[in-house]
């Protein structure tokens, strides 16, 4: 999942992911960690 902040060189909104997008990404990452299939042996760094 990725936030779209620019399309064809045009900035969308403020040009940064908004609070709702950050909330969705945080919940998505938590769901992937809880229910997803582990692909890598070591834990990747946490993005907040």
> pLDDT per position in the chain (48 positions), as tens?
788 999 999 999 999 999 999 999 999 999 988 998 888 776 666 666
Residues contacting residue 1 through CB under 8 Å, at least 6 positions apart: 24, 25, 28
Question: Which pLDDT value is given to residue 48?
Answer: 63
Asked whether the whole model's pTM tops 0.75, one would answer no
Reported as type and span, the H/E element at residue 25 is helix 19-35
E strands, 1-48, are: 6-7, 10-11
Question: Which pLDDT value is given to residue 41?
Answer: 75
Burial 16-25 (b: 16+ CB within 10 A, else e): ebeeebeeeb
């Amino acid at each position: 999942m990725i936030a779209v902040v620019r399309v064809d060189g045009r900035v969308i909104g403020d040009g940064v992911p908004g609070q709702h997008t950050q909330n969705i990404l945080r919940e998505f990452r938590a769901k992937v960690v809880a229910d997803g299939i582990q692909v890598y042996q070591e834990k990747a760094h946490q993005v907040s």
